Amino acid sequence: MESAADDPRFQEGIRCFNRRAFFEAHEVWEDIWRDDHGASRHFYQGLIQVAVCLHHFRNGNTRGARKLCITGSNYLEPYRPACLGIDLERLLRDLHACCDELLASDEAIPQAKLDLERIPSILASDHAGTNHGAPG
């Protein structure tokens, strides 16, 4: 049986994300999320929320972006440092750097602009002993 990391949909979601086609990445990963009833379900939910966070941020929905940055990060946290070949340490660090103005704001609707130079990419993990789908 092929691993989730080898699922063509998973890889397509990564390609979409790295092309900054965040809504499309969310759509692809949502298909996997719907099919998954195992330990990786929250991992996919985290990726989906991170993608939608960046989609909202780029479109000026800073309130939605902040919320999804927080919840997406919380879903991915248990899978650190890496999961299914993704360097989550790097992704979460870069996501928080990209969204630092959103996260620091105490305004209901943060007045922040997306810095295109700070948008994170999904990179392959080089962590030994990576988490392969189940937290803890």
Number of domains into which the chain is organized: 1
Which comes out higher in pLDDT, residue 130 or 44? 44
| The model's pTM | 0.90
Confidence of residue 38 (pLDDT cuts 50, 70, 90): confident
**Is the pLDDT at 3 greater than 70, yes or no?**
no
Return the CATH number at 67.
1.10.3450.10
Instruction: For residue 51, give both structure tokens.
Output: 């993608």
**Is the pLDDT at 1 greater than 70, yes or no?**
no
Residue 51 lies in a domain: yes
Phi, psi of 125 (to 5 degrees): -80, 145
Whole-angstrom Cα distance, residue 52 to residue 5? 21
Determine the average pLDDT of the residues in 61-79.
97
94 Cβ partners below 8 Å, 6+ apart?
118, 120, 121
119: how many CB neighbours lie within 10 A of its CB?
A: 17
Residue 125 lies in a domain: no
Residue 75 lies in a domain: yes
Q: What is the DSSP letter of 108?
A: S
Residue 55 lies in a domain: yes
**Is the pLDDT at 131 greater than 90, yes or no?**
no
Residue 129 lies in a domain: no
Stated as kind and residue range, the H or E segment containing 71 is helix 62-76
Residue 130 lies in a domain: no
Amino acid 114: pLDDT: 94
Helix (H, G, I), strand (E, B) or coil at 45: helix
Amino acid 96: pLDDT: 98
- Return mean pLDDT, the chain: 91
Domain boundaries, position 17: 7-118
**Is the pLDDT at 68 greater than 60, yes or no?**
yes
